[in-house]
Amino acid sequence: MADTPTEGAASSGGMPQLDFSTFPNQIFWLVVTLVVIYFILSRVALPRIGAVLAERSGTITNDIAAAEDLKQKAVEAEEAYNKALADARAEANRIVDETKAQIKSELDTAIAEADAEIAARSAESEKAIAAIRDSAKDDAATVAKDIAKDIVAAVAPGKIDAKSITAAVTAKVKG
């Protein structure tokens, strides 16, 4: 190492690492150092760091669990909302259907009533028409007898009595 190895070795004792006179000193202080570091670590530092790490992982686990819980709740709320919505739709449809059915039945009843009334009215009308027709027939017969009497009186006065004329006319009208 030195330009004159023998001289360098003599002046600095060669490799200081191989100077055995310093060994007890180094070993003693090394043991002291290691014991001190061991006690600092095992009594203070390591339990503390271990506790902090455990606490942190506990906090993280709890937070994740809480988040999971809240997410679950949100999903449930959404489901409840959707269900309520679907229920409301179904209810609305039901009401619509019910109302439609009610209206239809009411309408049917009204139509039936109207039909019945119409039928009654037309029956009445037919009766009235028949009565009118009958009375018209009688009137026509009366008028025909009167006209026949007048005509007979005009053509052959006093020769044919009223009764036979009436009978003849009646027979003719009937025939």
Partner 1 sequence: MAESKDGGLVFKPMQQFEVTPLFGDGPVGMFTITNSTMWMALAIIAVVVLMVLGTRSRAIIPSRSQSIAELVYGFVYQMVEDITGKDGVKYFPYIMTLFLFILFSNYLGLLPKAFTPTSHIAVTAVLAVAVFVAVTVIGFVKNGAGFLSLFWVSSAPLALRPILAVIEVISYFVRPVSHSIRLAGNMMAGHAVIKVFAAFAAVVAISPLSILAITAMYGLEMLVAGIQAYVFTILTCVYLKDALHPHH
Classified as helix, coil or strand, 156 is coil
CB of 6 to partner 1, least distance (A): 14
Nearer to partner 1, 49 or 116 (CB): 49
Classified as helix, coil or strand, 157 is coil
Classified as helix, coil or strand, 73 is helix
Q: Which residues bind partner 1 (CB under 8 A)?
A: 1-3, 8, 12-19, 21-34, 36-38, 40-42, 44-46, 48-53, 55-56, 59
CA–CA gap between residue 62 and residue 54 (Å, rounded): 12
Classified as helix, coil or strand, 158 is coil
CA–CA gap between residue 162 and residue 147 (Å, rounded): 12
CB of 89 to partner 1, least distance (A): 49
* DSSP 8-state assignment for residue 40: I
Nearer to partner 1, 54 or 107 (CB): 54
CB of 69 to partner 1, least distance (A): 21
CA–CA gap between residue 9 and residue 15 (Å, rounded): 8
Nearer to partner 1, 6 or 17 (CB): 17
CB of 19 to partner 1, least distance (A): 7
Nearer to partner 1, 8 or 98 (CB): 8
